[in-house]
Structures are given as structure tokens and as C-alpha cells.
Amino acid sequence: MPAVPTRVLLVEDDAMISEALSLALADEGFDIDCAATGEDGLELLEQVQVDVVLLDLMLPGIDGLTVCRSIRDQGALPIIVITARADTQDVIAGLEAGADDYVTKPLVAGELAARIRALLRRTAPPPPTRFTIGSLEVRPDEETVRRDGEPVHLTRTEFRLLTELVTAEGQVVTREQLLKRVWEHDYFGDTRLLDVHIRRLRRKVENDPDNPTLILTVRGRGYRTDPDP
């Protein structure tokens, strides 16, 4: 039985970009649904089940950041935001809104396809075991996290990041290692992606995110967990 193609929702208001990208991604083996506005994109998500969303930040009507937050509020559907500018504020705003990754225009279909596949590989089943740090229990095989017995809802990327840290069992995981293992590609020194996700993760698992006791920064190197906070 042939594998079901990955279904992608592309929310892009530029008709030429949308058509060209749809054809190129179709050639890469993806099924593409298109929406020209944020409103149409959100409506489509209520009607069809997709595997990943490609979301332009500059949209008429509801802007991309609002759409991103709305999707994230409803669950952990993978989101890659598309931005025309690579400046810090645009990228960080998209990541803070809940995006897992970002790409900048002009888009290269082959690279984008690789990003999509890498993002979806993060859901591969991890080894059956569990880890406890402080009040946090992480079960990689079940893809669940509990804090004081209550479930913590993480995105797929946040879960993969936390799993990489807890499985190191207190050893330092460098920033470069985390970027390579979680996002599976080289950002050539651009660590904004990691910084924002660490910040988002701390907000969900730490009692005081500004004074973390579970996920610790090792200045100049990376991050580690404290097995006995």
C-alpha cells in the first residue's frame, strides 16, 4: 500500500508565489492546499486535516502572527513561517507566536521540502523510557510531559528539544548540537531559533521562567538539565 503523501497548507497572498511553490512542492511529493488570506487558511483547517502549515507573515486581513497564534492555541500542528525579512524582530515574533521554524524569501523549494521533512521526523517514536527532573516527568515513548502530575502541552519541537536535554541526564548539550539534532540543519550561527524555543519551553515547565531551575544555561556552551533541582 503506497504511503499517504504529506499534506501541506500554504497560506500565501501572492498568487504567483503560491502557484510556483505549490507546483514545486508537488514535484517533491507533497499534497498542497492553498489559501490567500489568514481567514481562508483558518477555515480550511476546520475542513481538512493537514500535516504542516506554511504561513506567510504578511497577509491581508488577519496577519500571519495572529493566524499562527490561533493555530497554536488549538494544538501542536507544525508551523513554518515565511518572512520577506530576516531581521531579528520579524523572525523572533514568528517564533514567539508558536512557529517551529522559519524560512525567508526568495524560497527554494528543495530546501523548504527538506525543512518540512525534518520537522515531521521529529515525531518519530523515541525509545521507551521516562525521565524525572524535579516535579517534571518526561516520557519520550508516550510523547507526554507532566508537571506535578498535570499534563504539560508542548509543541512537537518543544518536546523534541526537552527530550534532547533530559536524555543527556545533566550533561551539557551545546547550542550547535541542539540545532543539528532538533532542526536537522545548519543555521550558520543563527541561534535565535533555539533561544526563542528555550524561552517558550521554560515558560511551560519552570515555576519561575526568569530564574530557571530545571533547564540551565551553561554560558558560552549550551544548556543542561538539573537532575536534582
pLDDT in tens, the chain (229 residues): 345 788 999 999 999 999 999 999 999 889 999 999 999 999 999 999 999 999 999 999 999 999 999 999 998 899 999 988 777 788 899 999 999 999 888 888 888 998 898 888 765 555 557 888 888 999 887 889 999 999 999 998 999 999 999 988 889 999 988 988 888 766 555 678 899 999 999 999 999 999 999 999 999 889 999 877 6
Question: What pLDDT is recorded for position 180?
Answer: 86
For residue 207 the three cell numbers come to: 515555576
How many CB atoms neighbour CB 60 within 10 A? 10
DSSP 92: H
For residue 229 the three cell numbers come to: 533541582
Question: What pLDDT is recorded for position 110?
Answer: 86
**Residue 196: closest CA among 209, 208, 177, 184:** 209
CB-based contact 20:14 (threshold 8 Å) = no
Question: What pLDDT is recorded for position 14?
Answer: 93
**Residue 134: closest CA among 207, 218, 201:** 207
- Any idea of the CA torsion for 20, 155, 163, 3, to the nearest 10 degrees? -50
CB-based contact 140:167 (threshold 8 Å) = yes
Q: At which residue does the C-alpha cell 515565511 appear? A: 82
Question: What pLDDT is recorded for position 119?
Answer: 86
Looking at the DSSP assignment, which residues form a beta bridge with residue 55? Answer: 11, 81
In the three-class reduction of DSSP (H, G, I as helix; E, B as strand; rest coil), residue 102 is classed as strand
For residue 101 the three cell numbers come to: 521554524
Distance between CA atoms of residues 148 and 18, nearest Å = 45
Looking at the DSSP assignment, which residues form a beta bridge with residue 81? Answer: 55, 102
- Length in residues, the chain: 229
**Residue 115: closest CA among 218, 221, 25, 17:** 25
pTM equals: 0.74
CA atoms within 13 A on the CB side of 200: 25
Question: What pLDDT is recorded for position 2?
Answer: 41
